[in-house]
Amino acid sequence: MKLDTSGLESAAPVWGAPSELVDGFSAAPSFEVPNTTDFDGFQKEAIQMVKPAKGTTTLAFIFKEGVMVAADSRASMGGYISSQSVKKIIEINPYMLGTMAGGAADCQFWHRNLGIKCRLHELANKRRISVTGASKLLANILYSYRGMGLSVGTMIAGWDETGPGLYYVDSEGGRLKGMRFSVGSGSPYAYGVLDNGYRYDMSVEEAAELARRSIYHATFRDGASGGVASVYYVGPNGWKKLTGDDVGELHYKYYPVMPSTVEQEMVEVAGA
Amino acid sequence: MARYDRAITVFSPDGHLFQVEYALEAVRKGNAAVGVRGTDIVVLGVEKKSAAKLQDSRSVRKIVNLDDHIALACAGLKADARVLINRARIECQSHRLTVEDPVTVEYITRYIAGLQQKYTQSGGVRPFGLSTLIVGFDPYSGVPSLYQTDPSGTFSAWKANATGRNSNSIREFLEKNYKETSGQETVKLAIRALLEVVESGGKNIEVAVMTKEGLRQLDEAEIDAIAAEIEAEKEAAEAAKKAPPKEK
C-alpha cells in the first residue's frame, strides 16, 4: 500500500496522470536501510524505545444505551509528569470518538486525518461512514506504516446505522471488534474494575459511574496515569461529554476521611 | 476539422472533443441495450446478433455481474468493455476490503464514469468506446437503481433508458409507455421496448433480471414465452380498437 500523505499534500501533481492509468496496485514503499551490523536488532531496539510511552489509561465499552468512552489526562516522559491536562479523547466527528494512547502526536495527527477522510466519504457518497469503515481506513493506514516507529493504540467508538460500534486499532496494524476494551499502562487495573462491574443493561448514569470508577482505580495504582477522568457517552444523536473529574477529588469521594477518636494527643513539653 | 481529432487532449475551436464524439458514434453502432427500473426489480435486455453456427453462445454473455448485487450491460466496443468491467470488479472487491461494506450502485457508477473521463484527458490514449447501463440494489436501503455512463464520463440515474443501435426509438417508446411496475410487468416492458427494434424471438435478445436475491439470466424458452404474451396482448389491443366501431 502506498504511504498516505493525503493529509499533507496541498495540490495534486499535474504530471502524475499517465502512471495512474496503468497501475492497478502500487508497489510497497521502500526506504534506505541504516548501515548497521545487525539491522534486525537495531529495529527491535528502535521499537522498544517507543513502546513504554503508552503511559495512560483509556477504556470504552458498549452497553444497551450506546458506547461509554473514558480516559485519564496525564502525559509522562519517563518519570516526569509533563502534563496533567491532556485531551485523550479525540472528537473525530459529531458521532465518532477516538481515544489516544501511545505517541500523542501520532494519535492526534492520524485521528484528524481520519476525520478528513470521513468527511470526504460523506461528501462523495451522501451518507455517513460506518464505524467499521472508519476503523478500517485507520487500520489500513497504520498497517502501511508498520515497522516505521508509529505508536498508536486507539479505540474508535461511534454510533452508525447498525447501532453502537467499537473497534480497537493499533500501530502494529491490528484491528479488533469488541464490546469492552481498555488500552494503556493502567489498563490491567481498569479491566479489573470494569469487567467486575459490567452488565449489558445498565443505564447511562450507571455506565458513566462504572467508567469513572475504572479510570480512578487505574490512576490510583498506575504512576503513568492521573489528572482528570473524562467520561463521554456516544448515543444515537452523537457523542456528549458527561463528566471530567479530578482523580484526586474522586479519591476522597470514594474513600472519604473518617474522623476517628483520638487516643493520645501530643502536648507541648513544659519548658525544659 | 481534421486537425482537431488527432490527439484527444486538444479542444476544437468550437469547443468539441472530437475523439469523445467519435466514441459516441461507435456506441451508436453497437447492439441495442435497454434497462428498466421497477419498484422491486431492475431488468436489462440486450440485442443479440444471431450467433454463428459453430460459436458457443455461452461464451458471449452480454450482461455481466460486477458484484452479487450489481450488473452491467453495455453497447459499443466489446473489448473495451472487458477492460472496464475487470477494473470495476476489482474496485467492488477493494471497496469491500477497505470499508467492509458492498459498493452502492452510485459509487461504482461514479468509479466507472471517472475511469472513462480519465481517458479523455490523458495523452496517448483514446476514450473507451462504450456506454454502460448499470443496475443494482442499494445494499443498505434495498432501493433498485439504473444508471447510465457514456464515453465522456458523465453519468446519471434513469427510470428507463436505452443505448446502442436505435436507442432513440426505444427511448421514445419508453417515454410513451413507462409507468411504475414491479416483477413480471417490468420484464415485459423491457422486452416490449427491445422488440421495437429487434426481430422477435428468444434467439435475438438476452434478458437478465436483478432482484434483491441477485442476478438471474432468463433462458430462451422464458423469453419466447413472454414475447408470445406480448404478441397476444398486441393483437388483442388491435382487435379491441377495431371492434367498437362495428358494434355501433
Tens-digit pLDDT profile for residues A259-268: 888 878 888 8
Is it the case that residue A271 has pLDDT exceeding 80? no
Q: Which of A5, A36, A56, A132 is catalytic?
A: A56
Statement: residue B10 has pLDDT above 90: no
Separation of alpha carbons A166 and A239, rounded Å: 13
CA distance B98 to chain A (A): 6
- The answer to whether residue A114 scores a pLDDT higher than 50 is yes
User: CA of B119 to nearest chain A CA: how many angstroms apart?
Assistant: 8
pLDDT at A18: 43
Give percent of chain A above pLDDT 70: 85
**How many CB pairs lie under 8 A apart between chains A and B?**
36
Of B187, B135, B184, B193, nearest to B162 (Cα)? B193
Higher pLDDT, A3 or A17: A3
Q: How far apart are CA A220 and CA A240, in angstroms?
A: 26
Q: Which segments of chain B are extended strands (E)?
A: 33-37, 42-47, 63-67, 70-76, 130-137, 144-149, 155-157, 160-163, 205-211, 214-217
List strand residue ranges (DSSP E) for B154-219, in order: 155-157, 160-163, 205-211, 214-217
Whether residues B122 and A124 touch (CB distance < 8 A) is answered with no
Counting beta carbons within 10 angstroms of the beta carbon of residue A9, is it exposed (0 to 12), middle (13 to 18) or buried (19 or more)? exposed
Mean pLDDT of chain A: 85
- Confidence at residue B219, expressed as pLDDT on a 0 to 100 scale: 86
Give residue A22's pLDDT.
Answer: 45
Short-list A179, A186, A185, A229, CA closest to A209 = A229
pLDDT digits (tens, 9 = 90+) for A226-258: 999 999 999 999 999 999 999 999 999 999 888
Q: Is A219 a catalytic residue?
A: no
Pick B119 or A48 by higher pLDDT. Answer: B119
Residue B231: how many other CB atoms lie within 10 Å: 12
Interface of B with A (CB under 8 A): 87, 90, 98-101, 104, 106-107, 110, 118-119, 121-125, 140
- At residue B245 the predicted structure's pLDDT band, cuts being 50, 70 and 90, is low
Q: What is the pTM of this model?
A: 0.78
Whose CA is closest to A161, among A63, A99, A95? A95
Q: Which of B164, B161, B99, B167 is nearest to B129 (CA)?
A: B164
Which residue's entry shows cell 450491460?
A: B73
State yes or no: ipTM above 0.85.
no
Instruction: Report how far residue A204's alpha carbon sits from residue A183's, in angstroms, rounded to the nearest whole number.
Output: 22
Give the whole-angstrom CA distance, residue A141 versus residue A150: 11
According to the model, what pLDDT value does residue A11 have?
Answer: 45
Distance from CA of A52 to the nearest CA of B (A): 30
Residue type, A204: V
Residues from chain A that touch B121, judged by Cβ atoms under 8 A, are: 17
Residues of chain B contacting A136 with CB distance shorter than 8 Å = 98-100
Q: Cell numbers for B74, please give them.
A: 453495455
pLDDT of residue A15 exceeding 50: no
Task: Report chain A residues whose CB lies below 8 A from the CB of B116.
Answer: none
pLDDT level of residue B210 (50, 70, 90 thresholds): very high
